[in-house]
Amino acid sequence: MSILSKIRQANLVGRGGAGFSVAQKWLMVKNAVGAQKYIICNAAEGEPGVLKDGYILEHHAAKVIDGLKLAIDFLDERRPTSIGCRTSGYLYINHAYYKKLNKKLSGLIKNLPVEIFPKPLDAGYIGGEESAILNAIEGRRIEPRLKPPFPTAFGLWGKPTLINNVETFYNVSLVNAGKYLSKRFYTITGDCPNEGVYELPDNLTIEKVLKQTNNYPKFSFFAQIGGSASGEALNAKQLKRSVSGAGSIAVYSLTKNNFKKVIKNWLDFYSGESCGQCTTCREGVYRLQEAMLAEKINWSLVNELLNNLSDTSFCALGASIAVPLESLIKNIYHEKN
Cα→Cα distances 230→16, 25, 43, 187, 324, Å: 13, 24, 18, 15, 6
Q: Which of 33, 50, 303 is nearest to 185 (CA)?
A: 50
Per-residue pLDDT reduced to its tens digit, 88-134: 999 999 999 999 999 999 999 999 999 999 999 888 888 889 999 99
Per CATH, the number for 183-253 is 3.10.20.600
Q: What is the pLDDT of residue 286?
A: 82
Residue ranges of the chain assigned to CATH 3.40.50.11540: 3-176
Poorest-pLDDT segment among 63-67, 155-159, 312-316? 312-316
Per-residue pLDDT reduced to its tens digit, 179-213: 999 999 999 999 999 999 999 999 999 999 999 99
Q: Pick 131 or 291 by higher pLDDT.
A: 131
Task: Using the predicted structure, report yes or no on whether residue 268 has a pLDDT greater than 60.
Answer: yes
Task: Using the predicted structure, report yes or no on whether residue 60 has a pLDDT greater than 80.
Answer: yes
Task: Using the predicted structure, report yes or no on whether residue 84 has a pLDDT greater than 70.
Answer: no
- The percentage of residues in the chain with a pLDDT greater than 90, rounded to a whole number, is 59
Whether domain 259-336 has CATH 3.40.50.450: no
* Phi/psi at 187 (5° precision): -100, 125
Q: What is the pLDDT of residue 19?
A: 73
Spatial separation of the C-alpha atoms in residues 73 and 94, rounded to whole Å: 26
Residue ranges of the chain assigned to CATH 1.20.1440.230: 259-336
Give the pLDDT band of residue 303 (cuts 50, 70, 90).
confident
Q: Pick 312 or 53 by higher pLDDT.
A: 53
The pLDDT of 310-337, averaged and rounded, is 77
Spatial separation of the C-alpha atoms in residues 71 and 159, rounded to whole Å: 16
Q: Pick 20 or 93 by higher pLDDT.
A: 93
Contact 304, 311 (CB under 8 A): no
- Cα 261 to chain centroid distance, Å, stands at 25
Q: What is the pLDDT of residue 309?
A: 78
Cα→Cα distances 90→43, 77, 165, Å: 10, 19, 12
Residue ranges of the chain assigned to CATH 3.10.20.600: 183-253
Strand partners, 189: 250
Please name the CATH architecture into which domain 3-176 falls.
3-Layer(aba) Sandwich (3.40)
Q: What is the pLDDT of residue 79?
A: 66
Contact 169, 71 (CB under 8 A): yes
Q: How does DSSP assign 181-239, residue by residue?
A: -SEEEEEEEESSSS-EEEEEETT-BHHHHHHHTT---SSSEEEEES-TTTSEEEEGGG-
Spatial separation of the C-alpha atoms in residues 209 and 168, rounded to whole Å: 21
Give the pLDDT band of residue 83 (cuts 50, 70, 90).
low
Task: Give me the amino acid identity at 322.
Answer: A
User: Under the phi-then-psi rule, with left for phi > 0, alpha for psi from -120 to 50, and beta for the rest, what region is 227?
Assistant: left
Per-residue pLDDT reduced to its tens digit, 214-260: 999 999 999 999 888 889 999 999 999 988 778 999 999 999 988 88
Q: What is the pLDDT of residue 212?
A: 97
Q: What is the pLDDT of residue 46?
A: 86
Residue 123's contacts (CB-CB under 8 Å, 6 or more residues apart) are 44, 46, 132, 136, 142
Poorest-pLDDT segment among 62-71, 100-109, 266-275, 293-302? 266-275
Q: Which of 269, 267, 281 is nearest to 310 (CA)?
A: 281
Task: Using the predicted structure, report yes or no on whether residue 138 has a pLDDT greater than 60.
Answer: yes
Q: What is the pLDDT of residue 276?
A: 67
Give the pLDDT band of residue 334 (cuts 50, 70, 90).
low
- The percentage of residues in the chain with a pLDDT greater than 70, rounded to a whole number, is 93
Spatial separation of the C-alpha atoms in residues 175 and 52, rounded to whole Å: 19
Give the pLDDT band of residue 282 (cuts 50, 70, 90).
confident
Spatial separation of the C-alpha atoms in residues 118 and 57, rounded to whole Å: 14
Helix axis angle for 279-292 and 259-273, nearest 10°, is 160
Q: Which of 222, 286, 17 is nearest to 128 (CA)?
A: 17
Q: Pick 287 or 212 by higher pLDDT.
A: 212
Per-residue pLDDT reduced to its tens digit, 322-333: 889 889 989 997
